[in-house]
A and B are shown apart, each in its own frame.
Chain A
Amino acid sequence: MQQHKKRLVVIGNGMAGARTVEEILARDGAENYQITMFGDEPYGNYNRILLSNVLNGSQDASEIFINPMEWYRENCINLHAGVRAVHINREECIVTGSDGTVEEYDRLIIATGSSPFVPPIQNMYTEEGCLRHGAFVFRTLDDCTRIAGHAVKCTRAVVIGGGLLGLEAARGLLNYGAQVTVVHNMPHIMNAQLDSEGAGVLQQTLERMGISFRLNAVTSRILGEDAVTGLEFDDASKIPCEMVVISAGIRPNTQLAKEAGLVVERGIVVDDSMRSVNDDAVYVVGECAQHRGQVYGLVAPIWDQAVTLADHITGKNLFAAYTGSKTAVKLKVMGVDLASMGVTHPAENDEVVVYSQPKKGIYKKLIIRDNQLAGAILLGDSSRAASLIQLFDRGTQLPEEREQMLFNIGSSANGASIQSTMLEMEDDTQVCNCSGVNKGTLRKCALSGIKTVKGVMEATRAGMGCGSCRPLVKEIVEWACEGQMDEDPSVHYYVPGVPLSKTDLVMNVKNMGLKSVSSVFNALANGIEDPGSKPGLASLLKTIWGGEYEDERDARFINDRVHANIQNNGTFSVVPRIYGGVTSPQQLHKIAEVAEKYDVPMVKITGGQRIDLLGIKKEDLPKVWKDLGMPSGHAYAKTFRTCKTCVGTDFCRYGLGDSTALGIKIEERFQGLESPAKLKLATAGCPRNCSEAMVKDVGAVAIEGGRWEIYVGGAAGAHVRKGDLLCTLNSHDEVLQMMGRFMQYYRENAKYLERTYGFVERIGIEKIRSVVVFNSEGTAERLDAAMQASVDAYKDPWLEAVEPHTPNQFAVSLPAGGIL
């Protein structure tokens, strides 16, 4: 087999070269290729980004290796460590190394990276062509060792270059006790990532740490002969120093490719499959590659290039295409958080949002073009970086409340969200208060390779309780994956087990006449029955087909099979319907009798103004209903539940409208109505709002003048939200009609289990108002008719007390038949 393998030679063992080889191995590339690598440095492969940590002493050199020498052996890679490739013969497909090694190739990957750019400065080099003693570039592990060795002997050091790497070098030197000056030839530092205001804020922060700056300064000459003694600038001014570190940018290493006749501009020019434009056998990746006019110096785009290259070269996907990257960086400059993406300066007509607090070192700026993020700078607080990078990458339409993008404002009712940044949040901070899952568990789960919010939620059970922490869980997963989330198509499905959006599902169900849950699985999910999808489908089919729906009881949650709410010990609670919360002595007598007869362990007034009999055995349910002689209160189902009322004009001295009568009418009309999630309503007789109508799914509040304000999308449970004012109406009948029309619109358009607070925010109150109140889509009549049909189809489920619907419907347990 060995001799049939093709030969793959990789020139360059830096981050791009090694990552590409890893990607190739991950695609079983070793089965088809014998891999040989040339590496200029005598080591395995290390993380160049962490070199500044080695320089400042926070990490040891041994800690930054990605692939040690054993990795190459284990993967049967022939590594020429410390051997520079000096010649490529494309006619004969041969690469020659600096030690005379000759390697033939079938495919070649060039990943030669880049070199430090040394600006033309007099007296920089010795007669032998070496950098003068005390002058250094900062690019490799060896440079790092040399700089550290010299820095301990110095009191004054200068860094030429105020870019990211230069500032990191300056920070490193500070740790050796030297006075450090950064010399930069531009008006402000980090000009690639920052505007002048942001750079000013950063510079002040760095000056407080002890670094001096000289801006707009062009170095003309190194002073000193045997060793560096100072610098002279083009205005003839001088500063003394014993060492100078040059960090003035990088230049792609293209000489080898140029000599081999490959097309080279700024970098080696490649097509979308990362192949040289004039040699199909040669691929190029990393800082030396020029793709669609761009040369990238950041890690993320290079990782993307490596994936495309590996897909293509291994034949896993011959249509793999790299189409360029939008560059976004998130990093620490001398311990200061910085995220920067896109443009740093606005064009004409761009919208700019800026928040600046220089004394705290905080500067935030958004540049918005056509309601998309064209650029952003976050300095000193990058807690929103992950979500901004995602908005930027995907070109998402931005929220109207721009401040939401810059700050963590009330994104959930969960106390943990008050934590200002993901980085500051301790690993042991509890995020999910239902399942007791902390941030560290979520982070580790995401890093273990589960890169979807749903996957992390299922694995940790975070967010599977009340759900109020889900936005925060999402943020943590995004942050942990650095925005590199896997696509989870099921988030767009109505239920996870049927790969269709709600609109497409409804269309298919109607066209194909699918009237039962099992027929939907058979027709639309390859016959695979997903238990978690059954109740959602049952709810939808009932809404679509009404009386024609073929009810399969196994698709229902237990509550809907026995018409009562299951409790933690397997018993059930019984809540009879008490319209509007208005009861009578006779009704109370009856309830008391039943409670005594069945020895009910707890009788309780609910939050919805009802009476709850708790701890009823399943087998007693039908008897309890029959004895009560009252209809079901539906306190267990995804339906219309209750309408709370206040006493309104009957007795209250402030009452403006008859809220009690209205509440009873509402409840009589809409009782038991199936909906995507529960519906809790209220009516209030005046704006004092004692029945809390403004925080209900739908609420009516009486105002002076005999009018009613209708609020929708309110919540005061796991999520707290004041409802939006939909409209103001003149009579009980108008209220009943408008509430019905809104609820029908919600039933038809909400996702399963999406409460009205989420629905109203997702659709937008203006849109809902235009459809429901102003009939902008001409659907009002149809919505009203559909609601009327559902109201007409209502049947009290407790009538099953007389005639059970399925065998042993209410049996707690059955005796087994016996030994055969």
Chain B
Amino acid sequence: MITHHNKMMYIASIEAIPSGEGRVFMVDETPIAVFHGRSGRVYATQANCPHKEGPLADGIVGGSVLICPLHGWKFNLESGEGPDCRITTYPVTVDSDGRILLEIAR
């Protein structure tokens, strides 16, 4: 849920990420994985898997589920929930101009 008390960061045009895939963006020196679901929804999470640091943006996305490319750990992109662990998720949205906007705490 986007609230307007925090900073809105413009990440990139939605076209920078092919439909159904993920890419990593550097946000204040922090890598953040942003996913462009086939439904049109976007998700943002920490960049690396808590298991063995796998690059999550290289994973496979289906609905709101992500599979890490290294050992197949599954995560829910909305809640961050994974096998006995949780990844950080960030509020993110796409505006009417197709711009990906990430909310970051002030």
Complex-state Cα separation, A812 to B15, whole angstroms: 17
Chain B 52-66 per-residue mask, 1 if CB under 8 angstroms from chain A, else 0: 111100111111011
Tell me whether A820 and B9 are in contact in the complex, defined as CB-CB below 8 angstroms, given that A530-B62, A535-B60, A813-B25 are known contacts: yes
Q: What's the minimum C-beta distance from A142 to chain B, rounded to whole angstroms? A: 48
Expressed in whole angstroms, the minimum distance between the Cβ of B12 and any Cβ of chain A is 6
A-B contact pairs, 21 of them (CB 8 A): A465-B71, A529-B38, A529-B62, A530-B65, A531-B60, A531-B62, A531-B66, A534-B60, A535-B60, A552-B19, A554-B20, A554-B60, A555-B20, A558-B60, A561-B58, A569-B53, A570-B55, A807-B18, A813-B23, A815-B26, A816-B27
Within 8 Å by CB of B26, from A533, A534, A554, A816, lies: A816
* Complex A-B, nearest 9 residue pairs according to Cβ-Cβ distance, in ascending order: A554-B20, A531-B62, A817-B10, A813-B24, A558-B58, A529-B62, A806-B18, A570-B55, A531-B60
A567's nearest neighbour on chain B, judged by CB, is B70
* Contact B15–A807 (Cβ < 8 Å): yes
Whether, in the assembled complex, B67 has its beta carbon less than 8 Å from a beta carbon of chain A, the answer is yes
Task: Give the complex CA separation of A557 and B18 in angstroms.
Answer: 14
Q: Is B94 an interface residue (CB 8 A)?
A: no
A533-B62, A566-B69 known, 5 other contacts, Cβ within 8 Å: A529-B62, A566-B55, A568-B52, A812-B24, A813-B25
| Assembled-state Cα–Cα distance A566/B63 (Å) | 24
Q: Across the A-B interface, how many residue pairs have beta carbons closer than 8 Å?
A: 114
Q: Is B50 an interface residue (CB 8 A)?
A: no
Interface size on A, residues (CB 8 A): 37
Please report A residues at the B interface, Cβ cutoff 8 Å: 461, 464-465, 497, 518, 528-535, 552-555, 557-558, 561, 566, 568-570, 806-808, 811-820
For chain B, the count of residues having a C-beta within 8 Å of the partner chain is 44
**Nearest CB of chain A from residue B60's CB, rounded to whole Å:** 5
Q: Which of B62, B67, B69 has the most A CB atoms < 10 Å from its CB?
A: B62
User: Which partner residue on chain B sits nearest A555 by CB separation?
Assistant: B20
**A554 touching B61, Cβ below 8 Å:** yes
Contact A816 B18 (CB under 8 A): no
Given A531-B62, A570-B54, A813-B31: A464 in contact with B17 (beta carbons within 8 A): no
User: In the complex the two chains form, is A553's CB within 8 Å of B67's CB?
Assistant: no
In the bound assembly, the distance between CA atoms of A807 and B62 in angstroms comes to 20
Residues of B within 8 A of A815 (CB): 25-26
B residues with a Cβ closer than 8 A to A are 7-12, 15-21, 23-27, 31-32, 38, 47, 52-55, 58-63, 65-67, 69-72, 74, 83, 99, 101-102
A817 to B17, CA, bound (A): 14
In the bound complex, what is the Cα–Cα distance between A80 and B21 (angstroms)? 65
| A818 with B10: CB separation less than 8 A | yes
Assembly CA distance A532 to B9 (angstroms): 32
B17 touches A813 (CB 8 A): no
By a CB distance below 8 angstroms, the chain A residues around B11 are: 816-817
Look across to chain A and name the residue whose beta carbon is closest to the beta carbon of B66.
A531
Q: Which of A531, A566, A808 is B58 in contact with, Cβ under 8 Å?
A: A566
Q: Are B26 and A552 in contact (CB under 8 A)?
A: no
| Complex contacts, B52 vs chain A, CB 8 Å | 568
CA distance A819 to B16 in the complex (A): 18
Q: Do A554 and B9 contact each other (CB < 8 Å), given the known contacts A531-B61, A531-B65, A570-B55?
A: no
Are B70 and A814 in contact (CB-based, < 8 A)?
A: no
Partner of A554, one of B18, B72, B74: B18
Kindly report which residue of chain A lies nearest to residue B58, judged by CB atoms: A558
**Contact residues in A for B101 (Cβ distance below 8 Å):** 820
